[in-house]
Amino acid sequence: MPPRRVVTGRSQEPRQRFAEELRLLRQEKGVSLRQLGEVVGWDWSQFGKMESGGTLGSPELVQALDQYYGTPGLLLAMWELAVADPRQFRERYRRYMVLESEAVSMWQYSPSIVPGLLQTPEYARELLQAGGLKGVELETQIDARMGRREALLAEEAPHFRAIVSEAVLRTPLASGEEWRAQLEYLVDMGSRFNIAVQVLPLSAGLHGLPNTDTMFLRGSDGQTVAWVETAYSGELVQENKGVEQLQLRYDGVRDLSLSPDESRQFIGRMLEEAPCETST
């Protein structure tokens, strides 16, 4: 089949195309960013970041723009494509991102950080900044990470089980308020029909996955793969033998963990202990 001909000459990359469409619509309206902010009721600087590709904004903001421009559903559909586009992730994650988006069931053990699918924007920002990201790249990665969460909220959402080490819950953010919001989000998400959150207490002792963040993905074809990650690298494990070995270790971790109900109570106690003020 011959390659598809580009008709418009505009970007075929979803994020960039979304930014171009926003600029074009505003120019056709003949309004400035400040005027747009006044009419729509949002901070005008946010629109500038969206039009430059620095951020994708929220679905509520995009819906407000759809209403203002008279493009019902168009911008929101483009936003969804941009958020879901695996090309905005770093190269080594792209294959994994595709498999994650197609998974019907997922289960993960996280020894040191809140699982990406359960992070608040503030948690993701502080974590990624600690890793050296800044500017447009930082905003791109935050948007991408938040976009991944949408699949868990869909009507036919995949099942997801997350086991987190107690150490994760004892490593707070700099802001007490933001840390409390993250803990509350864990409780809320763990209460959904398709999500189970479990805590591995420190008192459980040694186990088979001491420093390896491990995610299992099962596709609609029944095939299971695993993504294992450390602070410096990640690897997609697709061979049955390797996946089975990791699964046995995960099963051992699950056996040592608190039940979902006990875990909600545990996180609730952490919330009671969490400071409200910002640490210095």
Residue 32: CA count within 13 A, CB half-sphere: 4
How far is residue 34's CA from residue 167's CA, in Å, rounded to a whole number? 45
Domain range holding 62? 14-84
126 and 221 together in one domain = yes
115 and 232 together in one domain = yes
Q: What is the pLDDT of residue 5?
A: 44
107 and 129 together in one domain = yes
225 and 134 together in one domain = yes
Q: What is the pLDDT of residue 249?
A: 97
Q: What is the CATH number of the domain that holds 67?
A: 1.10.260.40
47 and 147 together in one domain = no
163 and 255 together in one domain = yes
237 and 131 together in one domain = yes
19 and 73 together in one domain = yes
Beta bridge partners of 195: 160
How far is residue 8's CA from residue 94's CA, in Å, rounded to a whole number? 27
79 and 122 together in one domain = no
How far is residue 100's CA from residue 103's CA, in Å, rounded to a whole number? 5
Domain's final residue, options 58, 84, 110: 84
Whether residue 256 contacts residue 206, with contact meaning beta carbons closer than 8 Å, is answered with no
HEC secondary structure over the chain: CCCCCCCCCCCCCHHHHHHHHHHHHHHHHCCCHHHHHHHHCCCHHHHHHHHCCCCCCCHHHHHHHHHHHCCCCHHHHHHHHHHHCHHHCCHHHHHHHHHHHHCCEEEEEECCCCCHHHCCHHHHHHHHHHCCCCHHHHHHHHHHHHHHHHHHHCCCCCEEEEEEEHHHHCCCCCCHHHHHHHHHHHHHHHCCCCEEEEEECHHHCCCCCCCCEEEEEECCCCCEEEEEECCCCEEEECCHHHHHHHHHHHHHHHHHCCCHHHHHHHHHHHHHHCCCCCCC
- pTM for this predicted structure: 0.71
Q: What is the pLDDT of residue 264?
A: 97
The one-digit pLDDT tens for each residue of the chain (280 residues) are 444 444 556 667 888 899 999 999 999 999 999 999 999 998 888 888 888 887 788 788 899 999 999 999 999 999 888 877 766 656 557 778 888 988 999 999 999 999 999 999 999 999 999 989 999 889 988 998 898 888 899 888 999 999 999 999 999 999 999 999 999 999 999 999 999 999 999 999 999 998 889 999 999 889 899 999 876 667 888 888 899 999 999 999 999 999 999 999 999 999 998 877 665 5
In a domain, 244, yes or no: yes
Neighbours of 261 (CB within 10 A): 11
In a domain, 8, yes or no: no
In a domain, 280, yes or no: no
75 and 114 together in one domain = no
Neighbours of 279 (CB within 10 A): 10
Q: What is the pLDDT of residue 81?
A: 87
Q: What is the CATH number of the domain that holds 107?
A: 3.30.870
**Parallel, antiparallel, or unpaired for β 195-200 and 159-165?**
parallel
* Number of domains composing the chain: 2
24 and 47 together in one domain = yes
How far is residue 224's CA from residue 227's CA, in Å, rounded to a whole number? 10
In a domain, 118, yes or no: yes
In a domain, 256, yes or no: yes
In a domain, 242, yes or no: yes
In a domain, 141, yes or no: yes
Nearest partner of 163 among 226, 106, 85, 102, judged by Cα: 106
Residue 87 CA: distances (Å) to CA of 53, 81, 83: 14, 11, 10
In a domain, 3, yes or no: no
